[in-house]
């Protein structure tokens, strides 16, 4: 006699706690199942890192979360609502920063693009641009064109433009993948500080297992052909993280081992 009541409870919508929810998401592109299936929840303020072998569907999953792809099965929801198109609350940091910036606009102009689009009055833009550039460590480079900047500076600029959207969520696709180790570590810490200050949710795709553990509250490992979740790890490391102490922490080493074994087995 208790069964109908249980069925009712199960049919009620999932708790609104999850900011982004993948519910049995599947995606077929050109007749090929790229993702089948992913169920995953990301809560507000969380940093979720996604790792997996090359071609396992990390970028595709991120594009689904951005609303740039529509799932062919299941649903992607943002704050309970189905994602039908990209939203301004969700900013995307692309890996290929060189392609994502407007080469004919200066650093200030590139940030202005986002401000113009969200309808900020021209009089307020300049102050906001200065503030954002300072935030990402580009103060004094406002008049430079992207081609006059190093890779690290260009990626900082892209992040600043994303912050100009005032996003609740940052989706980042291997944002530091093309940078050298030193620049990369610097940017990791800057990003963590920015995120801590804004409280934004982050979904961070990376090839680098250590980077995933260093940044994340949780790490999800995807399996290939078709893409699906193969591993979920909670990262119980103290914040703020530290490039030396965190990476030497026994828990860090344990997680690294687990991820390494996972990737090895999945290949």
Partner 1 sequence: MRWSVLGWRLASFAVAAGVIALWQFAADHRWISPVFLPGPDRAWASLMRGFTSGDLLAKLVGTLTHMAYGWLLASIAGIALGAMIGSSKTMRLYVAPTLELLRPLPVSAIIPVAIAALGLSQGMALAVIAFGSLWPLLLGTIHGFAAVEPRLYEVARVLHMPRLAVIFKIALPSAAPDILAGMRLSLTVALILAVVCEMLAGLDGLGQWVLLSARAFRSADLFAGVMLLGVIGYVTALAMSAAESRLLRWQAARR
Ligand X SMILES: Nc1ncnc2c1ncn2[C@@H]1O[C@H](COP(=O)(O)OP(=O)(O)OP(=O)(O)O)[C@@H](O)[C@H]1O
Residues that bind ligand X (CB under 6 A): 29-30, 32, 34, 52, 54-60
Q: Does 185 bind Mg ion (CB under 5 A)?
A: no
Select the binding partner of residue 30 from ligand X, partner 1, Mg ion, none (C-beta < 5 to 8 A, by kind): ligand X
Region binding Mg ion by CB under 5 A among candidate stretches 4-12, 52-60, 231-239, 241-249 = 52-60
Q: Does 35 bind partner 1 (CB under 8 A)?
A: no
Q: How far is the CB of 19 from ligand X (least distance, A)?
A: 22
Select the binding partner of residue 134 from ligand X, partner 1, Mg ion, none (C-beta < 5 to 8 A, by kind): none
Q: Does 92 bind partner 1 (CB under 8 A)?
A: yes
Q: Which is nearer to Mg ion, 107 or 222 (CB)?
A: 222
DSSP class of residue 227? B
Q: How far is the CB of 119 from partner 1 (least distance, A)?
A: 10
Q: Does 100 bind partner 1 (CB under 8 A)?
A: yes
Select the binding partner of residue 88 from Mg ion, ligand X, partner 1, none (C-beta < 5 to 8 A, by kind): partner 1
Q: Does 59 bind Mg ion (CB under 5 A)?
A: yes
**Candidate residues 70, 116, 251, 265; the one interacting with partner 1 per rule CB under 8 A:** 116
Q: Cα(175)–Cα(119) distance, rounded to whole angstroms?
A: 27
Number of residues near Mg ion (by CB under 5 A): 1
Q: Does 102 bind partner 1 (CB under 8 A)?
A: yes
Sheet holding 169-173, edge to edge: 90-93, 169-173, 201-205, 47-52, 218-223, 228-234
> Angle 31-57-46 (CA atoms, 0-180°, nearest 5)?
135
DSSP class of residue 14? P
Kindly report the length of the chain. 267
Q: How far is the CB of 14 from partner 1 (least distance, A)?
A: 26
> What distance separates the 2 farthest-apart alpha carbons in the chain?
72
Contact criterion met (CB below 8 Å) for 37 and 73 = yes
Region binding Mg ion by CB under 5 A among candidate stretches 21-29, 55-63, 102-110, 181-189 = 55-63
Contact criterion met (CB below 8 Å) for 135 and 196 = no
Q: Cα(89)–Cα(118) distance, rounded to whole angstroms?
A: 11
Residues 6+ apart with CB under 8 A from 6: none
Contact criterion met (CB below 8 Å) for 156 and 137 = yes
Select the binding partner of residue 115 from ligand X, Mg ion, partner 1, none (C-beta < 5 to 8 A, by kind): none
Residues of this chain, 143-172, that bind Mg ion according to CB under 5 A: none
Region class of 151: left (phi > 0), else alpha (psi between -120 and 50), else beta: alpha
């Amino acid at each position: 006699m208790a069964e109908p009541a249980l069925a009712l409870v199960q049919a009620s919508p999932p708790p609104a706690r999850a900011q982004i929810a993948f519910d049995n998401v599947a995606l077929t592109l050109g007749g090929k199942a790229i993702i089948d299936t992913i169920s995953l929840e990301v809560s507000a303020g969380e940093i979720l890192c996604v790792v997996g072998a090359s071609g396992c569907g990390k970028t595709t999953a991120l594009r689904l979360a951005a609303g740039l792809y529509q799932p062919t099965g299941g649903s992607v929801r943002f704050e309970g609502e189905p994602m039908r198109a990209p939203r301004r609350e969700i900013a995307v940091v692309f890996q290929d920063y060189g392609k994502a910036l407007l080469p004919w606009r200066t650093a200030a102009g590139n940030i202005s693009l986002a401000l113009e689009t969200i309808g900020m009055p021209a009089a307020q833009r300049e102050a906001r641009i200065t503030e954002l550039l300072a935030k990402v460590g580009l103060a004094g480079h406002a008049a430079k064109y992207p081609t006059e900047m190093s890779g690290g500076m260009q990626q900082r600029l892209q992040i600043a433009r994303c912050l100009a959207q005032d996003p609740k969520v940052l989706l980042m696709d291997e944002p530091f993948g093309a940078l050298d180790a030193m620049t990369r570590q610097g940017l990791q810490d800057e990003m963590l500080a920015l995120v801590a200050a804004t409280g934004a949710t982050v979904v961070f795709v990376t090839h680098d297992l250590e980077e995933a553990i260093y940044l994340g509250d949780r790490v999800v490992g995807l399996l290939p052909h078709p893409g699906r979740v193969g591993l979920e790890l909670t990262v119980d490391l103290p914040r703020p993280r530290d490039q030396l102490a965190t990476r030497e922490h026994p828990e860090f080493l344990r997680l690294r081992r687990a991820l390494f074994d996972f990737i090895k087995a999945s290949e």
